[in-house]
Amino acid sequence: MSSPRALMRLCTWNVNSLPARLDFVLDFLQTHQPDVVCLQELKVEDEAFPHLAFAQLGYVALTHGQPQWNGVAVLVRRALESEPRIVQRGLPGAESYGARLLTVAVAGVSVSSVYVPNGKSLSHPDFKLKLAFLEKLHEYAASLPLNEPVLLGGDFNLVPAALDSWNETAFTDRIFHTVEERARWRALIDLGLVDVFRALHPAEQAFSWWDYRAGAFHKKHGLRIDFLLASQTLASRARTAQIDRDFRKKREGRIPSDHAPVLVDID
């Protein structure tokens, strides 16, 4: 006799406004029954966060929001029977960049929801701020207990490799595809963090973001910029990884986020 293996389903999703996307997120929870969901771009302050809607589905939400822009949260399924607690609110040294990082401890895993600035364009001052944010994120990640289960889930706003872009040739040296952004990605990976989707699907072209404009989704003009990065001890337990494109589609006439959720199942 053996009991079923305990499985943890970990997710990340940039929802592009939680108030505008609440129905989608609730649908997602009911469809996938995830244990942990890192959310980005809440665009809602903590005082207005819709906790009740999540509680009714059996989730507790830990939040780091601000009015109008940015905002990150971690949803935790109560069935985990582990009381999640906030470990870090805001990326140290980058608080002025907005509410872009929240770390919680849950069921023996350090979980961080991360929203990297997009940088706008190479010539814009925000691009240098983006690179600086990635460096501070590296410093912060290095301070995490990487010999234990650690997860960074989020919108990193960069394309790690040619396979992750619908048009690497056209976008060479353009934002999201630059040597500078990729060097900082590599530094994160070199800490021992594993891009779990890519590890389980080494040759599959799969995107997590598609522009709203010009029919990009239907033309398969996307980028893979949302990741679940796991420490090796956690990544070694990963069994499946997927990006659920269904949640990038209209549902009953409602407009989706421009990002799709990324999911990983852990033994």
Q: Which is nearer to DNA, 140 or 176 (CB)?
A: 176
Q: Which is nearer to DNA, 91 or 109 (CB)?
A: 91
Does 68 interact with DNA (rule: CB under 7 A)?
yes
Q: What is the SS3 assignment for 109?
A: strand
Closest approach of Cβ 206 to DNA, in Å? 15
Query: Applying CB under 7 A, does 155 fall inside the site for DNA?
Result: yes
Contact call for residue 120 and DNA (CB under 7 A): yes
Per the structure block, which two tokens stand in for 191?
């800490």
CB of 135 to DNA, least distance (A): 18
- Segments in 7-50 forming alpha helices (H): 18-32
Applying CB under 7 A, which part among 5-13, 26-34, 51-59, 205-213 lies near DNA? 205-213
Q: Taking the CA atoms of the chain, what radius of gyration do you get in angstroms?
A: 17
Give the footprint of DNA on residues 17-56 (CB under 7 A): 17, 19-20, 41, 43
Buried/exposed 128-137: b ≥16 CB within 10 Å, e otherwise: ebbbebbebb
Near DNA by CB under 7 A: residue from 46, 60, 66, 69: 69
Choose among 261, 197, 183: nearest CA to 229.
197
Q: What single letter denotes the amino acid at residue 183?
A: A
How near is the Cβ of 16 to DNA at its closest, in Å? 6
User: Would you count residue 176 as binding DNA (CB under 7 A)?
Assistant: yes
Please report whether residue 212 would count as binding DNA according to CB under 7 A: yes
Q: Is 205 a residue that touches DNA (CB under 7 A)? A: no
Query: Of 4 and 125, which CB lies nearer to DNA in the complex structure?
Result: 125
Catalytic residue of the set 35, 155, 226, 265: 155
Q: Hunting for tokens 């809602």 — which residue is that?
A: 44
| 27 carries an active-site annotation | no
Contacts 24+ apart (CB under 8 A), 249-255: 249/217, 251/23, 251/24, 251/27, 254/23, 254/24, 255/20
Nearest to 107 by CA among 126, 80, 86, 87: 80
Contact 233, 148 (CB under 8 A): yes
Catalytic machinery residues: 115, 155
Interaction site with DNA (CB under 7 A): 14, 16-17, 19-20, 41, 43, 67-69, 117-118, 120-121, 126, 155, 157, 175-176, 209, 211-214, 223, 225, 255, 258-259
